[in-house]
Structure 1
Amino acid sequence: MTDTAAPAAPAVSTISMPLGMFVFTLLYGGMTVLAGVLAFKQVQLWPTSLAVESGIFPFLMLVVISSTLSQLYGRDAAKRIVWWGFFPLGLSALLMQLVLGLPASSEMLAFRPDDLAAFERVHQSTWRVWMAGPASYITSLLLNIWIFDRLRGQGEEGAIGLMVRGAIASALSQAVDSVIFITLAFYGEFDITDLMIGQVLAKVFLSVVLVPFLITFGVKAALWLDAKKA
């Protein structure tokens, strides 16, 4: 009687990803979708007449995340995340068109017609926002990563150097983003002067005052997550 050895189980290939990169990548995908939705509303910069579109808030988080990934995992890794950010952005746009095309329930038509009208009015009006978003998104975020990486010095870098790099890269890239996005999304619908000025000033201000601290926190949080996994 001949013993027949059982075939060896195929080797399972595992892809190792730092936990910090994994968590920040998930956050990045969510922020790309949220930025397009919130951009429909313009918020007044009190006490002036200037305004800013609300997509600025998740978009600043995209800047923070991309800078954090570039700092810890390299420019190429950060650029890949930016390019892959098109996937949730495009998929969410397609799903939105699907939902808008599907008939509403009889209950909603009968008892909540105002809610339905508001939903359709907002989301059917955002097609220019959805088109403008990718153009400004890819230009400004790749520019942010490039500037942030180019400003990296030789050897060890302290927290102050990290914050200065983050502030400069964010301010310049966000100014470019504002010009591209506001022009493509709203030009011709109303006078965009106040919105353009408010957007640029707000993004530059937040880039200098807030973003450096968020990047520093993001780097520490990612390092803590990586150590936790280990």
Structure 2
Amino acid sequence: MNASPDELPAASANLSRIDGSAGGRRHFRYFDYVMVAFVAILLLSNLIGASKLASLGGVTFGAGILFFPVSYVIGDVLTEVYGYANARRCVWAGFFALVFMAFMSFIVVSMPPADGWEGQSAYEAVFGSTWRIVLASVTAFWAGEFVNSFVLAKMKLMTGGKHLWTRTIGSTVFGQAIDSALFYPIAFLGTWTTAQVLTVMVTNWAMKVAWEAVLTPVTYAAVGWLKAREGVEVFDENVDFSPFAKTRAV
């Protein structure tokens, strides 16, 4: 008999409950792979789709939203399976990766083109993000991801590890509200009309929350698979939730 969705994440009697402090020091079998996937999706979403305004069926949205279905699952897995302390490491890894990507993009775009090469204008259009977009991307990512992880971790304690869907959707409501509220005004207010900024900001937030709801079965499957192989259930008790706290590794 199959377990109901609400039972899947914490149902296995083989999982040992540990607190977030112990989880932050523990070596996990698959954590590094999840972190690499998280950073890769983050960089691709900002490099390829962040500044394009698209429209389908009369609905206007930022094209970068195409990457978010995968990033949602990964972001939720990080905190749900590995705890806030490990999710914090991933957020900082993503933050510095974004900063490095922005710096190198600026250097490469600024280099004088070789004689006879006619692709400079196209290259600048694709990779020459303005300082506003860079600032918006880094700021929105940092704040939004920490809010998302914090809300999910706290809701896990409140629900006793049950009802995973409430915390994945609930954390997205808050985390992506912060992300959208920061990114679009910082990046485009004054370049786009105020109406466009507000429309895209609200539309993207609503679409991201909707995607999170749609992908709930995928999240359950990923979380269940990883927990079974890591062998522990992390509850973020005895954790410093400051973004700047340090976690010692064993």
Shorter-chain TM band: 0.7 to 0.9
Cross-structure match for 2:212: 207
Does residue 1:22 correspond to 2:32, yes or no? yes
Question: Given residue 30 of structure 1, which amino acid in structure 2 is its aligned partner?
Answer: A
Does residue 1:101 correspond to 2:88, yes or no? no
CA change 1:43–1:120 in 2 (3 A) is same
**TM-score, normalising length from structure 1?**
0.77
In the alignment, the residues of structure 2 paired with residue 105 and residue 217 of structure 1 have an alpha-carbon distance, to the nearest angstrom, of 51
Structure 2 counterpart of 1:82, from 66, 84, 91: 91
Cross-structure match for 1:6: none
The percentage of counterpart residues that share the same residue type is: 23
Cross-structure match for 2:50: 39
Cross-structure match for 1:175: 177
CA change 1:214–1:181 in 2 (3 A) is farther
After superposition, the C-alpha distances for 1:49-70 in whole angstroms (9 at most, x for unaligned) are x322122333454443232121
Structure 2 residue runs without a partner (length 5+): 1-24, 232-250
In the alignment, the residues of structure 2 paired with residue 205 and residue 131 of structure 1 have an alpha-carbon distance, to the nearest angstrom, of 27
Cross-structure match for 1:5: none
In the alignment, the residues of structure 2 paired with residue 201 and residue 63 of structure 1 have an alpha-carbon distance, to the nearest angstrom, of 14
Q: How many pairs align?
A: 203
Question: Given residue 165 of structure 1, which amino acid in structure 2 is its aligned partner?
Answer: R
Bigger fraction of residues in helix: 1
In the alignment, the residues of structure 2 paired with residue 221 and residue 94 of structure 1 have an alpha-carbon distance, to the nearest angstrom, of 37
Q: Does the CA-based 8 Å contact 1:20-1:223 persist in structure 2?
A: no
Larger-gyration structure (1/2): 1
How do residues 1-230 of structure 1 correspond to structure 2 at under 5 angstroms? 17-37=27-47, 38-44=49-55, 46-48=56-58, 50-106=59-115, 109=117, 113=118, 115-153=119-157, 157=161, 161-191=163-193, 192-210=197-215, 212-223=216-227, 226=230
Q: Which has the higher contact order (CA 8 A, sep 6+)?
A: 2
Secondary structure (helix, strand or coil) at the match of 2:61 reads strand
Q: Does the CA-based 8 Å contact 1:175-1:203 persist in structure 2?
A: no
Secondary structure (helix, strand or coil) at the match of 2:54 reads strand
In the alignment, the residues of structure 1 paired with residue 221 and residue 53 of structure 2 have an alpha-carbon distance, to the nearest angstrom, of 28
**TM-score, normalising length from structure 2?**
0.72
Q: CA RMSD for the aligned pairs?
A: 2.5
